[in-house]
Amino acid sequence: MSVTMTLNDLITKLQTAIRDKDLGAAEAIGAEIKALNDQVALTARKVVYICNITQEGFNLTRTFGYVNIAGAKKGQRYGLTPVREYHDRIVYDDKHQIPVTFPAAEVAEDIVRSCNADAGDDEFPNSFLGVFLCAGDTPMEDELRDAENRLRDFDTHLVRKADEKWSATHNYREITGAERRAAGRIRVKREWLFQPEANVTCPFCQQPMPKDAVIHAGPGGCGQIVDRVRYAAMTAPPPPTSTELSDEELDTLTDPNKTK
């Protein structure tokens, strides 16, 4: 059982003792918590480092505040974020307060789990988005290679899943942001990889379409005319040619015997 699980179990017991107004039990449990904290202080690292091998950052909310996991900067292989042990205090009456400490490594492991679960994919048993806890202050080469292999496998899975959805629906909205980022990381080109800045929303079907389109045509298009002014100009009949006859031509038509 991890230190955090043991600590949470003791806190639950302490809350029960407080609710039952059993001060003796509360003090005994408090002593156990203090002994556990002393053990953590002696053996646990105060600061650990989370490594992120992608350029996407993560913002999480925890009981101790906001956590920002930095992404790798351009030209760098990874980004590092320090995580420190978390200190809290349990107050169960005016005279009794028990300090509690959550080890940095277990706080970081919880953060890593949350980051890698962000893709929300139930079909892949080990969702992985490039975030892991370093064994030391910086990632070792074998840690980086393992993370890169895991990320490539998961990205390939996400792209295959997006291909299946596109084949069935041709609907840009069915493709998730995680799937688009995965395609970018493994550098594949797909029809569903449109550039959002070059597209607008069709007023009829609410799907993306080229910014300057006259008709929402092509795969996934609804076929509606979205710019009627330009459509009218494009489809207008050519101007009529002049049919006015000269006087000589009129005379010829009215007097067949007259020749030039």
The pLDDT, as a whole number, for residue 53 is 97
Identify whether residues 62 and 161 lie together within a single domain.
no
List the domain range (segments joined by +) for residue 205: 200-239
Summarize pLDDT for 105-120 with one digit per residue, the tens. 888 999 999 999 867 6
What pLDDT, on the 0 to 100 scale, is given for residue 165?
A: 92
Q: What is the biggest distance separating any 2 CA atoms in the chain, rounded to whole angstroms?
A: 135
205 lies in the same domain as 235 = yes
Mean pLDDT (the chain, rounded):
83
41/168 same-domain check:
no
Last residue of a domain, one of 163, 193, 223: 193
Token pair recorded at residue 254: 């009215």
Does one domain contain both 187 and 214? no
Q: Are residues 63 and 24 in the same domain?
A: yes
Same domain membership, residue 99 and residue 172: no
Question: What is the secondary structure of 52-92 as a DSSP string?
Answer: E-SS--EEEEETTEEEEEPPPPTT-S-EEEEEE-EEEEEEE
CB burial of 57-84 (b: ≥16 within 10 Å; e: otherwise) equals ebeeeeeeeebebebbeeeeebbbbebe
Both 87 and 160 in a single domain?
no
Quick: pLDDT tens for 79-89: 999 999 888 87
pLDDT of 154 reads 93
Q: pLDDT-derived band of residue 196, with 50, 70 and 90 as boundaries? A: low
**173 and 233 fall within a common domain:** no
Residue 151: which pLDDT band, with cuts at 50, 70 and 90? very high
Residue 103 has pLDDT above 80, yes or no: yes
- Domain assignment present for 171: yes
Q: Which of 192-196, 200-204, 229-233 has the lowest mean pLDDT?
A: 192-196
Question: Same domain, yes or no, for 14 and 110?
Answer: yes
Domains of the chain: total: 3
218 or 24, which is more confident: 24
Q: Is residue 63 located within the same domain as residue 100?
A: yes
pLDDT of 92 strictly over 70: no
Q: 114, 112, 87, 91: which is closest to 102 by C-alpha?
A: 87
pLDDT band at residue 21, thresholds of 50, 70 and 90?
A: confident
* Residues 230 and 179 occupy one common structural domain: no
